[in-house]
Amino acid sequence: MELSHINAAGEANMVDVGAKEQTERSATASGVVYMRPETLQAIKSDGLAKGEVLAVARVAGIQAAKKCSDLIPLCHPLALTKVSVGFEEISERELKVLAQAKLRGQTGVEMEALTAVSIACLTIYDMCKAVDKAMRIDSIALEEKIGGKSGEWRRQDGVTD
């Protein structure tokens, strides 16, 4: 297995994507925030002092995707065409966060989707920590990527390749 961010001398470097073809690309990532049932109820009813948790987490995730290259050293700055962040109640204790990033470009958007999910989850924690310090963020993963040289990839039943 060859790592594209390592040059012949073994040094970290930014991959040159200049010769790559521009294609439509998208990536979807997810993560789960585990919390007390009372905390999830407070989120759903907008009953927390800091305000509308999911609205703020959505905006935070979108902003994070746009700033990905500022946070992860070897990521390219990208002209994203779409970032979306959504939420799904899995159980009375589990809130799933989903993020999708899209663009037409020369490199993928997996890191942008993963960054959006991570920051949205952290924002939920930040806004709820006063009532539930035991919350846990878990299972952050790429769910699918579409486009580019390697084509389509989808997570199969939580198993990695």
Q: What does the pLDDT average to over 32-59?
A: 95
Give the pLDDT band of residue 28 (cuts 50, 70, 90).
very high
For residue 29, the cross-strand partners are 99, 142
Domains in the chain: ranges and CATH: 23-146 (3.30.70.640)
Give the pLDDT band of residue 150 (cuts 50, 70, 90).
confident
Q: In whole angstroms, give the CA distance from residue 62 to residue 65.
A: 5
Q: In whole angstroms, give the CA distance from residue 44 to residue 74.
A: 37
Point out the catalytic residue in the list 16, 46, 70, 126: 126
Is 60 exceeded by the pLDDT of residue 1? no
Q: Is 126 a catalytic residue?
A: yes
Q: From the centroid of its chain, how far is CA 87?
A: 12
Q: Is the dihedral of CA 54, 137, 32, 148 positive or negative?
A: positive
Task: Please report the pLDDT score of residue 146 as a whole number.
Answer: 95
Whole-model pTM: value is 0.90
Average model confidence (pLDDT) across the chain:
91
| Residue, of 15 and 156, whose pLDDT is higher | 156
Is 70 exceeded by the pLDDT of residue 88? yes
Task: Please report the pLDDT score of residue 3 as a whole number.
Answer: 61
